[in-house]
Amino acid sequence: MGIEIDGLTVIKGGKTLLSIDHCYIPKGKNIAIIGPNGAGKSTFLHALLRLIERHSLSYRSITIDGRSLDRYYTQTLAQTFAFLPQTQTIDPYMTVEMLVEIGRFPYRGRDAEQNESIIQRALQLTEMTCFKTRKLGELSGGERQRAFFASILAQNTPYLCLDEPASFLDPKYRHTQNELICAIHQDLKMSQSTILRVTHDINDALDYADYLIALKGGKILAMGSVEAILTGELLETLFEIPFRFVQDASGRGAFLS
């Protein structure tokens, strides 16, 4: 069914950070959320996750797979949304496996054998099985990011929310991270899992997403399939600079500013 939003507003310090009249997020998509700095991209995710103070957040209705957000208790919400923020606080002495086990916290008291199976599957999907006994402080930035990714996969939720997951990564690790997200989305398609990813990289959205939400000034400027709406004209409206689309000999394209 997906997520349906009506009349969502976030106001902080007298400033409107987000104002969305209506938005429908289809289920099972790999969705990129793009826009300039201050567009409300992270705020959009935080509103869905109820990470914003209630006095700053208002909405007519938000439904997740037909169920009102107001009916979600904290534990139920954690069984529905997994969230990878831009930055994470780490305990350098914690092992990778211990971190991934934290992802099962919303299911405490459940079958131990099932929990263990899900943990090992998350490690396998992120290619972190051979690192599971390593301490976080011993890992490279890219390896640590994969460990946190494994932790949110262990939550086994229908929605994965990623706030600039490739930020602070060099081009090699950025490519690896994007390939990982795509591989995981393909693996999760049978369960209709949805990925919502904030990104500043337009070409990441072009290459790896299949659905786009474009924000500017706290409002949705456009949304739809990447093929239908990601154009130079849209990017120029969003970022207020010229863009052109180029292709190499293999036919692979990219937007250049």
Q: Which residue has the tokens 């072009």?
A: 206
Residue 120: partners with Cβ closer than 8 Å, 6 or more residues away? 129
Question: Residue 145 sits in a domain of what CATH number?
Answer: 3.40.50.300
Does residue 255 fall inside a structural domain? no
Does residue 213 fall inside a structural domain? yes
Tally the domains of the chain. 1
Does residue 216 fall inside a structural domain? yes
Provide the whole-model pTM: 0.91
pLDDT score of 69 more than 80: yes
Q: What pLDDT shows up at residue 190?
A: 58
Q: What pLDDT shows up at residue 176?
A: 78
| Residue range 136-183, pLDDT digits in tens | 999 988 889 889 999 999 999 999 999 988 766 777 777 877 888 887
Mean pLDDT of the chain: 91
| CA pseudo-torsion sign 200, 21, 77, 31 | negative
**Alpha-carbon gap, residue 60 to 181, rounded angstroms:** 32
Domain that holds residue 164: 3-231
**Alpha-carbon gap, residue 62 to 50, rounded angstroms:** 11
Does residue 219 fall inside a structural domain? yes
| Residue range 22-58, pLDDT digits in tens | 999 999 999 999 999 999 999 999 999 999 999 999 9
pLDDT score of 236 more than 70: yes
Does residue 252 fall inside a structural domain? no
Does residue 40 fall inside a structural domain? yes
Does residue 243 fall inside a structural domain? no
Does residue 239 fall inside a structural domain? no
Please, which pLDDT band fits residue 191 given cuts at 50, 70 and 90? low
